[in-house]
């Protein structure tokens, strides 16, 4: 399998007002947009044809195409949002037929072994889809899993005896047969997975027990940036052409290219967008050009 789709057409409402100008998948995580991390992981696993659907602030994706890497990347614009299932269906013209890996554009999972995920899928013939799941204490999380690894609890409905519990990461492989039946509009969970399970179909699970981040809200975006610093062994990162006043100290923070940190005191546990401005002292905040969101 060498075909994937990254879902990027959402409105990012939980990140407002930060998403007024920047779509959620292009939010910075360390030294690059979140989407660039995802694309890098997919390409590193051998995926050479990747579709990205867009809607809100679609022009921003074209503007940063060089940063995202243009080779093998197809951007599919949706004038009207089609939903996650509709988005995959709508991209059939660039993705072709067959199995496809679908990755939510707001999920950062650096330790996910995508090659192992594909190998697990290739070894199966009993499932319509394969979902990446992070385990949780029994009975918790968004899904339940039976002894054979099948999803048996979803959105409050139970379809079998639960043995393990977890959170679905929004990363999955869809089989060719299931893709053929995707609606032109709708949700991969509510309009595809739920009816499949209700009809005694099977969705398998791939257990992922490392750390991951959902950048869908401000606390999640901040956490993803602090995790990036930790993975890189950095106490802070200041991008090219950024200016930090002599009286300001950057601690455990990410400061984007061309950003300005002014004042006297510490910038601690913060993210300053490229071209953004922050005034210290400031802690646990995200600053863009226009707004500062305190967390």
pLDDT at 254 over 90: yes
- Is the per-residue pLDDT at 70 higher than 80? no
Both 30 and 116 in one domain: the answer is: yes
User: How far is CA 124 from each of CA 5, 76, 169, rounded to the nearest angstrom?
Assistant: 21, 30, 20
Instruction: Based on the fold, state whether residues 145 and 289 are members of the same structural domain.
Output: no
Domain count, the chain: 2
Token code pair at residue 269: 């546990």
Return the percentage of the chain with pLDDT > 90, whole number.
Answer: 95
What pLDDT shows up at residue 193? 98
pLDDT reading at 124 higher than 90: no
pLDDT at residue 180 is higher than 90 = yes
Write down the pLDDT at residue 44.
95
What is residue 125's predicted lDDT score, i.e. its pLDDT?
A: 83
Q: Which residue range forms the structural domain that includes residue 285?
A: 235-294
User: Is there a domain that residue 85 lies in?
Assistant: yes
User: Do residues 112 and 171 make contact, with C-beta atoms less than 8 angstroms apart?
Assistant: yes
User: What per-residue confidence (pLDDT) applies to 69?
Assistant: 83
**CATH number for the domain that contains residue 75:** 3.90.550.10
Q: Return the pLDDT at 71.
A: 78
CA distances from 255 to 61, 161, 217, 242 (A): 21, 48, 19, 7
Per-chain mean pLDDT for the chain: 96
Which own/partner pairs from 285-292 qualify as long-range (CB within 8 Å, at least 24 positions apart)? Answer: 286/18, 286/218, 286/221, 286/222, 287/259, 288/18, 288/21, 288/22, 289/21, 290/17, 290/20, 290/21, 291/17, 291/18
The last residue of a domain, from among 150, 178, 213: 213
Residue 136: pLDDT band (50, 70, 90) is very high
Residue 166 · residue 135 · CB < 8 Å: yes
- Regarding whether 162 and 245 lie in a shared domain, the answer is no
Q: What is the pLDDT of residues 82-107, one digit of tens each?
A: 999 999 999 999 999 999 999 999 99
The predicted-structure confidence for 18-68, as pLDDT tens digits, reads as follows: 999 999 999 999 999 999 999 999 999 999 999 999 999 999 998 888 889
Give the model's pLDDT for residue 65.
Answer: 85
User: Same domain for 15 and 84?
Assistant: yes
Cβ atoms of residues 242 and 226 within 8 Å: no
The answer to the question of residue 32 being in a domain is yes
User: Is residue 127 located within the same domain as residue 11?
Assistant: yes
The whole-number pLDDT of residue 96 equals: 94
Give per-residue pLDDT as tens, 185-216. Answer: 999 999 999 999 999 999 999 999 999 999 99
Using CA atoms, how far apart are residues 186 and 142, in angstroms rounded to an integer?
19
Confidence at residue 239, expressed as pLDDT on a 0 to 100 scale:
98
């Amino acid at each position: 399998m060498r075909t994937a789709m990254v879902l990027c057409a959402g409105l990012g409402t939980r990140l407002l007002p930060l998403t007024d100008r920047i779509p959620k998948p292009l939010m910075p995580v360390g030294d690059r947009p979140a989407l660039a991390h995802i694309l890098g992981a997919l390409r590193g696993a051998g995926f050479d044809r990747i579709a990205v659907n867009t809607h809100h602030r679609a022009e921003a994706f074209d503007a940063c195409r060089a940063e995202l890497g243009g080779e093998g990347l197809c951007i599919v614009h949706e004038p009207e949002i089609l939903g996650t299932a509709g988005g995959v269906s709508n991209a059939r013209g660039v993705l072709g037929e067959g199995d496809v890996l679908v990755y939510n554009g707001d999920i950062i999972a650096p330790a996910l072994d995508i090659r192992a995920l594909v190998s697990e899928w290739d070894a199966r013939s009993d499932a319509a889809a394969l979902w990446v799941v992070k385990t949780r204490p029994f009975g918790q999380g968004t899904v339940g899993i039976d002894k054979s690894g099948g999803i048996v609890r979803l959105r409050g409905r139970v379809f079998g005896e639960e043995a393990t519990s977890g959170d679905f990461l929004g990363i999955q492989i869809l089989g060719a047969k299931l893709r053929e039946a995707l609606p032109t509009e709708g949700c991969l969970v509510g309009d595809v997975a739920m009816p499949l399970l209700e009809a005694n179909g099977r969705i398998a699970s791939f257990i992922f027990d490392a750390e991951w981040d959902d950048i869908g809200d401000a606390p999640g975006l901040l956490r993803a940036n602090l995790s990036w610093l930790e993975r890189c062994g950095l106490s802070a990162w200041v991008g090219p052409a950024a200016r930090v006043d002599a009286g300001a100290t950057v601690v455990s923070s990410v400061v984007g290219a061309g950003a300005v940190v002014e004042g006297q005191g510490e910038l601690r546990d913060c993210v300053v967008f490229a071209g953004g401005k922050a005034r210290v002292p400031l802690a646990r905040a995200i600053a863009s050009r226009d707004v500062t969101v305190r967390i």
